[in-house]
Amino acid sequence: MTLSEENYLKALYHLAKDAKEAVSTNAIAEVMETKASSVTDMIKRLSEKKLVKYKRYQGAKLTEEGKLYAVNVIRKHRLWEVFLVEKLNFSWDEVHEVAEQLEHIKSDKLIEELDVFLDYPSVDPHGDPIPDKHGNIQPLPKVLLATLKVGEKGVCVGVKNSSKEFLQYLDKLEISLGNELTVLSKEPFDNSVSIGMGNTKISVSSLTANNLYVKKV
Amino acid sequence: MTLSEENYLKALYHLAKDAKEAVSTNAIAEVMETKASSVTDMIKRLSEKKLVKYKRYQGAKLTEEGKLYAVNVIRKHRLWEVFLVEKLNFSWDEVHEVAEQLEHIKSDKLIEELDVFLDYPSVDPHGDPIPDKHGNIQPLPKVLLATLKVGEKGVCVGVKNSSKEFLQYLDKLEISLGNELTVLSKEPFDNSVSIGMGNTKISVSSLTANNLYVKKV
DNA sequence: ATTAAAATTTAGACAAAGCTAAAAATTTAT
DNA sequence: ATAAATTTTTAGCTTTGTCTAAATTTTAAT
Ligand SMILES: [Mn+2]
Ligand SMILES: [Mn+2]
Ligand SMILES: [Mn+2]
Ligand SMILES: [Mn+2]
């Protein structure tokens, strides 16, 4: 499997996660930052290899084999992200690009030993679960901050949007995973949320509250 | 720079190390396990990029810029080999293939932090020196076991041939880097060398003695 | 000094992965 | 039910890196 094929499988996986139906050519083209015609070519190749189910004009869908392959790449990506943060002093907004490269290194021993070395982490620096070596993913109970009612408490456990911009903004607000917060009030006008954290009190926009996962406590 | 270009630069560097003259197309083709015609194409591309000096039918030679690039890839290769052995329980005969992949990961921070994490190692698991970030290589004083005279002592510090077969053979003989040995006798008939190591005494072939580096003590 | 052999380069093809422009199918709007 | 708009596919071209076969240059042998 080539690097490019692996990236398409990953994209297919992430796009199909919620939607159960086949994924459209354009949707893939958008996340892959490429042209629809290129997507059609690649989907045909992956279909030849039985990793994707494809009917002309009807979109694409991972087969079980394709899904397993995709999950394995995601496992590598997330383990490397943990390594970069825990061992090499990377911050959570710096790891993604490097992990995008490292996830394509081919060596079973490498990834198993990395898992041992990191002491079997269950989530990556963005709170995303790390699939085990069989491709099983432990889903953690988490909800968006925006869904908490006034008075409820939660611990930050993940981000939905893990763009550099959002992560750096959270850093500026001193919001880190593990922090406990309380919803003090919600503003009906713009859906902003006022939260208490430690002994500070801040207000975050609706957009922010809809991209930060918490675990209710 | 592509992965393939980087591999050619590395090959050029290793081939030109001893020989000061230009490297022949066939010599490159051999180590790259490819055809001479492919080498000609690539050398032209690298020449366009000013990384290689090239005159038709006259072989190729790295420019200063090309040499620096090559040394940097070698630095990455060797640091990753140290990581694999020291942190991930790889043995010295398992690291090369994986390091061949890891050496192409592009991230300055990654390699600098890896160097810090490993505490600035000076040699890789095969005793080869690790260039510093400026491309300087500290040459260690080492000689082939075959050059020691009867009665002389040495510490194993490296291998000239680092093929899996040779490394595994050394493992079987329980010869590791750091071991001290004494030359007990040399057999004129086949140039084999009898050595004492700890409280054992073994005889190694001329070929072996010509591929094991020691530091005289 | 020719000729033969070996090394090197060129020409032409191919696969992967991308692109643009045009054609075809599907979806949406009237 | 047509027509218009959108989506998707096809056709043809490009680049990287490889190959084989043929041509060229260099080196070695008579
Ligand atoms: Mn990531
Ligand atoms: Mn992540
Ligand atoms: Mn190596
Ligand atoms: Mn090595």
Cβ neighbours around A117 below 10 Å, total: 17
Tens of pLDDT, residue by residue over B118-151, are 999 999 999 999 999 999 999 999 999 999 999 9
- State the distance from the centre of ligand 4 to the C-alpha of B17, rounded, in angstroms: 16
| Predicted local distance difference test score (pLDDT) of residue A20 | 77
Give per-residue pLDDT as tens, A145-157. 999 999 999 999 9
CA angle centred on A172, ends A169 and A176, rounded to 5° = 85
pLDDT tens digits, one per residue of A28-63: 999 999 999 999 999 999 999 999 999 999 999 999
Rounded to whole angstroms, the Cα distance separating B170 from B176 reads 7
Spatial separation of the C-alpha atoms in residues B10 and B28, rounded to whole Å:
10
- Residue type at A62 in one-letter notation: L
Fold (topology level) of A143-216: SH3 type barrels. (2.30.30)
CA atoms within 13 A on the CB side of A17: 11
Q: Do A102 and B105 touch (CB under 8 A)?
A: yes
Average pLDDT over residues A4-33: 93
Q: Please, where in chain A does CATH 2.30.30.90 lie?
A: 143-216
Average pLDDT over residues B51-76: 96
CATH 1.10.10.10: which residues of chain B?
Answer: 3-62, 67-129
Structure tokens at A30: 């958008």
**Which of A127, A79, A122 shows the shortest CA–CA distance to A103?**
A79
| Topology of the domain comprising B3-62 | Arc Repressor Mutant, subunit A (1.10.10)
Ligand 3 mean position, distance from CA B129 (Å): 12
Of B84, B98, B117, the CB nearest to A88: B117
CA B132 to chain centre: 16
pLDDT (tens digit per residue) in A169-208: 999 999 999 999 999 999 999 999 999 999 999 999 999 9
Q: Average pLDDT for residues A104-120, to the nearest whole number?
A: 98
How would CATH label the architecture of A67-129? Orthogonal Bundle (1.10)
Contact: A98, B84; criterion CB under 8 Å: no
> Which pLDDT does position B19 carry in this prediction?
63
Task: Give the pLDDT confidence of B15-32 residue by residue, as tens digits.
Answer: 998 667 899 999 999 999
pLDDT of B18: 64
**Whether A4 CB is under 7 Å from strand C:** yes
Q: Say what the pLDDT of residue B183 is.
A: 98
- Quick one: pLDDT at residue A210? 98
Residues of chain A in contact with residue B87, where contact means CB-CB under 8 angstroms, are: 117
